[in-house]
């Protein structure tokens, strides 16, 4: 009798396990039975067709605002510093017709992809008439892979975009130093020089601010006299959760720093 009772209990347990397995498979099929690839940004965009780009993170949804002006693109601050038209076109080119591979549809795991409300980098793009063109929330990178996890604003579906969107914002990627002007110097021979103001990006490759960035520079006069090398310290910090190392704001901070040096 005991043996039969044990067999009955075992059979009941097996039935329950089979039922759970079938339910999980059906749930998974309902979750993933959609197109593997989706278009996240429809259409191609250039700086000529766009009037405003708002970049943010967490509660600071307008941490960096880039606006088209009659004399070119500007960073909306009290200084209204110039923004790089080339960088803006590169960002818009990356976002144009952006596609991604489906990864998840659960809100509970958004933080795992860096796409929760506190961690996602937000991009909102507006036309010349002020009307919204498109938006995108950008998260982290896959481990050992390229691209970024992304989602549409207000949507829990996560996609992996092959394009490195954050690299265009000065996060990850490689340092980008513009080519200098060739010059034949009597003392140093063939060299490259930069005159006036030099702007370049130094992306975050690991870790998080706050930290200190040291910049060493040396200037020379046309008559052949060089000044001693100078080291400038630039504090890079978080303000209300937004990274200061967005390319345009970092460039603005360097410009302000050099303006202070010239004033003294």
pLDDT tens digits, 205-264: 555 556 677 777 777 777 777 878 888 777 765 443 333 333 444 444 444 444 333 333
More confident residue, 3 or 240: 3
CA angle 88, 85, 140 (to 5 degrees): 20
Q: Are 72 and 86 in contact (CB under 8 A)?
A: no
CA distance 43 to 224: 53
Q: Are 46 and 92 in contact (CB under 8 A)?
A: yes
Q: What value does the mean pLDDT of the chain take? A: 75
Q: Are 92 and 83 in contact (CB under 8 A)?
A: no
Evaluate the omega torsion of the peptide bond into residue 233 and state whether it is cis, within 30 degrees of 0: no
Q: Which residue has the tokens 């990627």?
A: 173
Q: Closest Cα to residue 121, out of 247, 252, 262, 254?
A: 247
More confident residue, 14 or 40: 40
Average pLDDT of 64-83?
82
- Going by pLDDT thresholds of 50, 70 and 90, the confidence category of residue 135 is very high
CA distance 224 to 193: 13
Q: Closest Cα to residue 53, out of 257, 255, 232, 247?
A: 247
Q: Closest Cα to residue 133, out of 83, 96, 185?
A: 96
Q: Closest Cα to residue 113, out of 128, 126, 125, 101?
A: 101
Is the pLDDT at 77 greater than 90? The verdict is no
More confident residue, 218 or 72: 72
CA angle 156, 51, 148 (to 5 degrees): 35
Position 204 scores a pLDDT of 58
Task: Provide the residue count of the chain.
Answer: 264
Position 64 scores a pLDDT of 82
Neighbours of 120 (CB within 10 A): 24
CA distance 123 to 77: 18
Q: Are 27 and 92 in contact (CB under 8 A)?
A: no
Percent of the chain's residues with pLDDT above 70: 65
């Amino acid at each position: 009798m005991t043996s039969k009772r044990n067999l009955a209990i075992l059979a009941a347990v097996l039935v329950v396990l089979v039922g759970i397995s079938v339910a999980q498979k059906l749930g998974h099929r309902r979750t993933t039975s959609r197109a593997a690839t989706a278009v996240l940004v429809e259409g191609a965009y250039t700086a000529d067709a766009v009037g405003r780009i708002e970049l943010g993170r967490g509660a600071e949804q307008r941490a960096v605002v880039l606006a088209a002006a009659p004399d070119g693109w500007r960073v909306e601050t009290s200084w209204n510093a110039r923004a790089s038209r080339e960088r803006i076109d590169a960002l818009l080119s990356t976002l144009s017709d952006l596609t991604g591979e489906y990864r998840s549809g659960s809100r509970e795991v958004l933080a795992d992809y860096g796409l929760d409300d506190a961690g996602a980098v937000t991009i909102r793009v507006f036309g010349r008439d002020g009307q919204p063109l498109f938006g995108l929330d950008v998260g982290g990178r896959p481990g050992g892979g390229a691209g970024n996890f992304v989602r549409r604003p207000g949507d829990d579906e996560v996609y992996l975009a092959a394009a490195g969107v954050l690299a265009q914002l000065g996060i990850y990627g490689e340092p980008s130093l513009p080519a200098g002007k060739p010059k034949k110097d009597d003392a140093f021979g063939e060299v490259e020089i930069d005159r006036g103001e030099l702007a370049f990006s130094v992306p975050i490759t690991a870790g998080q601010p706050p930290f200190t960035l040291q910049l060493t520079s040396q200037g020379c006069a046309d008559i052949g006299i060089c000044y001693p090398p100078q080291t400038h310290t630039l504090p890079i910090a978080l303000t209300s959760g937004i990274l200061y190392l967005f390319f345009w704001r970092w460039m603005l901070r360097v410009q302000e720093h050099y303006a202070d040096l010239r004033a003294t």
